[in-house]
């Protein structure tokens, strides 16, 4: 077989040869055009600084500013023609700027490199994603707090190992997720504050000999300060990794809640009814109402985890400073951010719409000897039995009730006293599920009064 025919076999879309392959592997415009607004914002700040420091004239800076606004307008309106031959968003914008304003466009790139330019653009974009994530989390937290307040008294089973453990309140369960997503909110804000340093002016890697004002550009772009080391500034992608790490933990929490909603909405549990807006029917089984939104949220974590691992792998072997490998930093983050925001919005919608089946929750809470621990605790408090002995007595009573096919509160006092003579009528005050949850008054406990305290605390936080 000739070399030419072999080339045709593997060439495919690259039949034009090595030049086409290199253009395709080198170009990033197919995805980094999402950075257009950030790129133009950075260029406007840079041009204004160059004029303020006397590096370019005021008239050139004004011409550049107006030209960049024209480019942004074209991109926003969809009339801008992106070119793969120009590789990336930076060169596409600069080339079009030159077509619009001519010679002054060539002065825009004074005292900067694509290295600090892309780091700045990407940081600005990721910072926007942290802000969007904060907004999504706040909306979800408010929806959960509303559910907790509505159901502070509703009794449901608490589980360990997905086995009935002790009764809890619906409000307490909702507030558990408030704490989890509250930590996500804290991580989001913490990471945003740490990343808010401007790379602009670090140039290729060593800084620049021009008398630029990096504090001016940092302030113009909303950064707290310029990055302190030019080598680090152009080679750092910790901000993207932190976003993916924070997003991964948040997605894991979303997935755990989604799993519960899938279980709770099943015919076997009937704990909640999800609205039609976040469910679908079956193509063949007319009785089905599938929790598709919850299932898709549960699946999104794979993409977000994958993005985290992928970027960590890209970065792990790179010497300082910039390497072309870092072009592979964006697509993963773009995809993760899109899917995280979609999952947050869908979960907020489901939480706002879902209706708890209070009767089914209470019936389930009463099953499975869920107040056995209350019985053991009562024996310790009221009769002075050591806990291990109380545990044994309780286990014997559970076996007795199981054999009779009844629950613990249904055993007579005589039956209970046949196991432990120290048991009195007062035992019945703790055996009902409502009595059980009301007694859990320790800080952070499931008692309705404690739940309402936490609801009020979080309302103040979210206000």
pLDDT band at 164; cut points 50, 70, 90: confident
Residue % of the chain over a pLDDT of 90: 68
pLDDT band at 9; cut points 50, 70, 90: very low
pLDDT value at residue 1:
45
Among residues 345, 373, 28, which one has the least CA distance to residue 166? 373
Q: Under a CB-based contact definition with an 8 Å cutoff, are residues 220 and 249 in contact?
A: no
Cα separations (Å) of 65 from 42, 76, 97, 165?
11, 17, 10, 65
pLDDT value at residue 407:
82
- Positions annotated as catalytic residues are 161, 282
Query: Highest mean pLDDT: which of 173-177, 281-285, 314-318?
Result: 173-177
CA distance 45 to 15: 43
pLDDT band at 429; cut points 50, 70, 90: confident
* DSSP-based three-state secondary structure for 163: strand
pLDDT value at residue 17:
66
Identify the residue whose tokens are 């309402």.
452
pLDDT over 80 (residue 162)? yes
pLDDT band at 13; cut points 50, 70, 90: low
The alpha-helical segments, DSSP class H, found in 27-169 are 29-32, 36-52, 58-77, 89-101, 114-150
pLDDT value at residue 90:
84
pLDDT over 60 (residue 146)? yes
Q: Under a CB-based contact definition with an 8 Å cutoff, are residues 150 and 272 in contact?
A: no
187 has which bridge partners?
A: none
CA distance 122 to 39: 9
> What distance lies between CA 458 and its chain's CA centroid?
19
pLDDT over 80 (residue 376)? yes
- pTM recorded for the entire structure: 0.88
């Amino acid at each position: 077989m000739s070399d030419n025919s072999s080339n045709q076999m593997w060439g495919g879309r690259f039949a034009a040869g090595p030049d086409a392959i290199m253009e395709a592997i080198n170009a990033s415009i197919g995805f980094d055009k999402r950075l257009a607004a950030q790129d133009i914002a950075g260029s406007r700040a840079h041009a204004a600084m160059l004029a303020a420091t006397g590096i370019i004239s005021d008239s050139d800076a004004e011409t550049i500013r107006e030209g960049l606004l024209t480019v942004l307008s074209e991109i926003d309106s969809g009339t801008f023609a992106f070119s793969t031959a120009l590789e990336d968003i930076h060169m596409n914008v600069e080339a079009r700027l030159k077509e619009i304003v001519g010679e002054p466009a060539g002065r825009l790139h004074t005292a900067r490199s694509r290295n600090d330019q892309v780091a700045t653009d990407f940081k600005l974009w990721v910072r926007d994603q942290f802000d969007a994530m904060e907004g999504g989390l706040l909306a979800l937290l408010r929806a959960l707090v509303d559910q907790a307040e509505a159901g502070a008294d509703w009794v449901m089973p608490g589980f360990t190992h997905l086995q009935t453990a002790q009764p809890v309140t619906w409000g307490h369960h909702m507030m558990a997720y408030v704490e989890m997503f509250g930590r996500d909110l804290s991580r989001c804000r913490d990471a945003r504050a740490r990343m808010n340093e401007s790379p602009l002016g670090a140039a290729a890697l060593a800084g620049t000999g021009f008398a630029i004002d990096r504090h001016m550009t940092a302030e113009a772009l909303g950064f707290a300060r310029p990055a302190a080391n030019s080598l680090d500034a152009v080679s750092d992608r910790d901000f993207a990794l932190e976003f993916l790490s924070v997003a991964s933990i948040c997605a894991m929490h979303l997935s755990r809640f989604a799993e519960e909603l899938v279980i709770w909405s099943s015919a076997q549990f009937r704990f909640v009814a999800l609205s039609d807006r976040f469910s679908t029917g079956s193509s063949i089984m007319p009785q089905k109402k599938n929790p598709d939104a919850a299932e898709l949220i549960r699946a999104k974590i794979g993409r977000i985890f994958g993005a985290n691992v992928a970027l960590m792998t890209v970065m792990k072997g790179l010497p300082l400073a910039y390497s072309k490998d870092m072009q592979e930093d964006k697509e993963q983050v773009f995809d993760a951010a899109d899917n995280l925001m979609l999952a947050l919005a869908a979960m907020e919608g489901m939480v706002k719409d879902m209706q708890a089946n209070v009767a089914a929750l209470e019936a389930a809470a009463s099953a499975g000897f869920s107040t056995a621990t209350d019985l053991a605790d009562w024996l310790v408090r009221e009769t002075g039995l050591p806990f291990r002995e109380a545990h044994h007595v309780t286990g014997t009573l559970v076996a007795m009730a199981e054999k009779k096919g009844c629950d613990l509160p249904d055993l007579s006092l005589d039956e209970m006293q046949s196991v432990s003579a120290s048991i009195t009528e007062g035992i019945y005050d703790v055996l009902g599920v409502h009595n059980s949850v009301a007694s859990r008054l320790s800080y952070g406990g499931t008692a309705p009064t404690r739940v309402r305290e936490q609801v009020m605390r979080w309302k103040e936080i979210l206000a």
